[in-house]
């Protein structure tokens, strides 16, 4: 979405400040406003700055770019803005303004790395890792080239959270899912969020083509970021696909509902769930993972004070982790402190990027949690899944 497409909306922000809060007003729920505290760093402040840019009352500067990039695009503003006719666009507008920053040469250096790495033909991922064509995994898990499902692993799971990836692979095998892998390139979430959109459509078309080659009609991912991108962004970039998209939590829930998944062991721990912004506020999935956790025998499932639409961001998204690594982990620390209040010993999520940042905070600040994805919990349990 270009800034021109939303130009007619930006000035309609009244800067009333609902966007800073959670639903009950008990907390400021916008991570960047929480940190910087100047009005400038609220969603409303950013809208007015962007309006100032459009009107030529402001000029691009490093500081202006920094203000726009110090937003984790968590969507709390979208959730809490009371102007229902157009509140859905706030994150899109931030991303569109970042695309303008890129055009004008003001993309911050650290975020530029995301594009350089992602477009590097040796990598195709933002982690600067050699591209994995996933052929070895296919061999290891005995996966054919053609299948009903594609497991779209995503870069974070494939290069940073391999336990999560492997747990997913094992789960899919246990569930007798006929699936395969593709030589995937980045879903483009990191470069879309940071406004570096020039190669996005090509990447999307590539991935869709690769999926088509497998003959799959269903695509599953264990990454909330990939899920949000495939679900919401492909259409915005004019890339169509005809497969059905699943997050792993949705498949697990379906198997439970159909009575195919049986637990044979207990998980005797107190667990709290961190809603990933990309699965929650961006995709509207709140209850499905909860229903899965609650069905695990032995589990003591507890909620953090801010949950579902009110969940506080882990601080990794929107290019914040690469752009502001120390602050990003401090945001996760705040989230873990909230988790502490619940008495949980396990903080679980359904997003490898949240898992990464929460784990980083857990380690850095010795918070003493076990940070683990839902699918990894299932991997630790003795489960039985019947085939169709």
Partner 1 sequence: MNTDQILKDLQNIVGKEFATNSPEDLYIYSQDPGASLPRPVDFVVMPKTTEEVQNIVKLANEEKIPLVPMGGGMTLSGLVLPVKGGIVVDMKRMNQILEINELSRYALIEAGVSTGQLLAYLNEHHPDLQPAIPDAPPSATIAGNVLIHGSGYLSQKYGDHGAIVNGLEVVLASGEVVKLGSCAVSDYWFARGPIPDLVGLFLSSFGTMGIVTKLSVQIFPKPKFREIVFGLMKDEENIPKLLLEITTKEFIEDVILGKQDKPEWMKGYIFFMVYITGDSQEDIDTKIKILKKTYRKNGARYMKATQKMIDLYIEKPIFASGAADFRKGGGFEYVGANMPLEKIPEAYRRGAEISIKYGIPPTLGSRLIGQTHNIVMFFSYSFNRADPDDMQNARNALEETNHLALELGGIPWKGELGAQKLTLQKMDPNYKKMFFNIRQMLDPNGIMNPGNWSEEEN
Residues lying near partner 1 in the complex (CB under 8 A): 11-18, 20-21, 24-26, 36-40, 45, 48-49, 51-52, 57-58, 61, 63-64, 67, 82-83, 85
**HEC string of the chain?**
CCHHHHHHHHCCCCCCCHHHECCCCCCECCHHHHHHCCHHHCHHHHHHHHHHHHCCCCCCCHHHHHHHHCCCCCCHHHHHCCCCCCHHHHHHHHHHHHHHHHHCCCCCHHHHHHHHHHHCCCCCCCCCCCCCCCHHHHHHCCCCCCCCEEEECCHHHHHCCHHHHHHHHHHHHHCCCCEECCCCCCCCHHHHHCCCCCCHHHHHHHHHHHHHHHCCCEEEECCHHHHHHHHHHHHHCCCCCCCEEEEHHHHHHHHHHCCCEEECCCCCCEEEECCCCCCCCCCCCCHHHHHHHHHCCCCEEECCCCCHHHCCCCCCCCCHHHHCHHHHHHHHHHHHHHHHHCCCCEEEECCHHHHHHHHHHHHHCCCCCEEEEHHHHHHHCCEEECCC
CB-nearer residue toward partner 1: 79 or 376: 79
The residue among 260, 215, 261 whose CA lies nearest residue 388 is 260
Q: Least distance (Å) from partner 1 to the CB of residue 369?
A: 25
CB-nearer residue toward partner 1: 45 or 317: 45
Q: Least distance (Å) from partner 1 to the CB of residue 32?
A: 13
Q: Least distance (Å) from partner 1 to the CB of residue 357?
A: 22
Q: Least distance (Å) from partner 1 to the CB of residue 75?
A: 19
Q: Least distance (Å) from partner 1 to the CB of residue 304?
A: 15
CB-nearer residue toward partner 1: 60 or 127: 60
Q: Least distance (Å) from partner 1 to the CB of residue 373?
A: 31
Q: Least distance (Å) from partner 1 to the CB of residue 339?
A: 19
Q: Least distance (Å) from partner 1 to the CB of residue 197?
A: 24
CB-nearer residue toward partner 1: 58 or 381: 58
CB-nearer residue toward partner 1: 225 or 323: 323
CB-nearer residue toward partner 1: 247 or 306: 306
CB-nearer residue toward partner 1: 172 or 311: 311
- Spatial distance between the Cα atoms of 162 and 330, rounded to a whole number of angstroms: 24
CB-nearer residue toward partner 1: 81 or 351: 81
């Amino acid at each position: 979405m270009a800034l021109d497409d939303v130009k007619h909306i930006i000035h309609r922000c009244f800067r009333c400040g609902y966007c800073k809060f959670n639903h009950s007003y008990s907390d400021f729920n916008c991570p960047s406003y929480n940190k910087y505290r100047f009005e400038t760093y609220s969603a409303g402040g950013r809208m007015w700055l962007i309006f100032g840019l459009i009107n030529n009352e402001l000029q691009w500067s490093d500081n202006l770019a920094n203000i726009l990039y110090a937003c984790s695009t968590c969507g709390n503003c979208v959730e809490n803005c009371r102007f229902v006719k157009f509140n859905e666009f706030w994150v899109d507008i931030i991303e569109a303004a970042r695309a303008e920053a890129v055009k004008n040469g003001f993309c911050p250096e650290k975020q530029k790395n995301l594009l350089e790495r992602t477009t590097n033909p040796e990598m195709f991922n933002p982690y600067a890792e050699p591209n994995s064509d996933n052929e070895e995994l296919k061999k290891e898990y005995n996966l054919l080239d053609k299948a009903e499902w594609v497991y779209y692993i995503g870069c974070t799971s494939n290069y940073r959270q391999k336990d999560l990836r492997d747990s997913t692979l094992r789960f899919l095998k246990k569930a007798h899912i006929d699936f395969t892998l593709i030589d995937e390139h980045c879903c483009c979430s990191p470069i879309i969020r940071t406004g570096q959109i020039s190669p996005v459509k090509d990447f999307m078309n590539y991935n869709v083509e690769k999926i088509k080659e497998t003959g799959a009609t269903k695509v599953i991912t264990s990454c909330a970021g990939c899920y949000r991108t495939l679900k919401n962004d492909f259409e915005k970039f004019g890339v169509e696909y005809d497969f059905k998209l699943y997050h792993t939590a949705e498949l697990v829930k379906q198997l439970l509902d159909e009575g195919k998944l049986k637990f044979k062991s207990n998980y005797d721990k107190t667990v709290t769930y961190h809603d990933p912004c990309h699965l929650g506020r961006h995709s509207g999935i709140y209850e499905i993972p909860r229903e899965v956790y609650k069905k695990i025998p032995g589990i003591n499932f507890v909620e953090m004070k801010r949950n579902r639409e009110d969940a506080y961001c882990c601080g990794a998204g929107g290019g914040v982790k690469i752009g502001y690594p120390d602050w990003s982990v401090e945001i996760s620390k705040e989230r873990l402190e909230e988790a502490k209040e619940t008495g949980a010993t396990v903080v679980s999520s359904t997003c490898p990027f949240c898992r990464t940042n929460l784990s980083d905070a857990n380690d850095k600040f010795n918070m003493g949690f076990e940070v683990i994805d839902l699918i990894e919990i299932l991997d630790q349990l003795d489960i039985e899944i019947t085939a169709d």
